[in-house]
Amino acid sequence: MSGSIDEIIRPGARGRGGRPSRQQSAQLVVRILDVAESLFLGHGFGATSIEAVAKRAGISKRTFYHRFSGKERLFEAVVRRLIERWLPPLDATMLSSPDLADGLRRTAEQMLRIALTPEGLALHRLVIHEAERFPGLARIMYELGAANGIERIATHLAPRIQSGELRAMDPRFAAEQFIFSVVTGPQRRALGLGPPLSAAEISAHAGNAVALFLEGVRGR
């Protein structure tokens, strides 16, 4: 999996000679990604064609392929850009409090703010609906999204486990269970599988999920 959007974009996109300048090329990539994000999240992966992306972006297919090798790489770039938008406030939240319970509660609330955005819900719905036809989508979402989040929270929990504040366990397993307990219920409700939670109920859910998680993982 590529490390950044720049590595997803084909090298030929960077201008020299008679080609567009680096700034022009970057602006064009932003326009393509804006269009692709709108089409993917609004219509789905299967229903979005390269032709539709190129037409709405006002470019030729040749120009598109000069920058992206195909639709799956375009989807990867869209997902990576969304996650790069979401991660800085999540990282800042995790480091905002030295108190474990307070830090986890703030982290839980920030995770829910991300997961319950229209973009977050649309992306989750897209991958669930189309993963069987396009298995690469689930791989992209796991590697860029779930695995990334698990690793970040595990890094936050690992010193607490080593110090004995939390009982001995795999920090990645603990992080994964934390994410499941925080996000799954409210996300399912927001997708229509039950009445959606109000803002007050979301905050209460975050606090209850953290309390239950800590009850299970605190050192004895």
- Predicted TM-score (pTM) of the model is 0.80
Domains and CATH numbers, the chain: 5-71 (1.10.10.60), 77-217 (1.10.357.10)
Q: Could you count the other beta carbons within 10 Å of the beta carbon of residue 58?
A: 11
pLDDT: is 188 or 2 the higher one? 188
Confidence of residue 117 (pLDDT cuts 50, 70, 90): very high
Kindly report the average pLDDT of the chain as a whole number: 88
Report helix, strand or coil for 4. Answer: coil
Decide: 79 and 141 in contact? Cβ < 8 Å.
yes
Supply the pLDDT for residue 140: 87
Residue 105 to residue 203: CA distance in whole angstroms: 9
Longest dimension (CA), the chain: 68
Q: Is the pLDDT of residue 171 over 90?
A: yes
Residue 141 to residue 120: CA distance in whole angstroms: 11
Q: Is the pLDDT of residue 11 over 70?
A: no
Supply the pLDDT for residue 216: 93
Q: What is the pLDDT of residues 118-162, one digit of tens each?
A: 999 999 999 999 888 888 888 888 888 888 889 999 999 999 999
Q: What is the mean pLDDT of residues 50-56?
A: 95
Supply the pLDDT for residue 10: 57
Confidence of residue 115 (pLDDT cuts 50, 70, 90): very high
Decide: 105 and 206 in contact? Cβ < 8 Å.
yes
Whose CA is closest to 108, among 17, 180, 36? 180
Decide: 41 and 126 in contact? Cβ < 8 Å.
yes
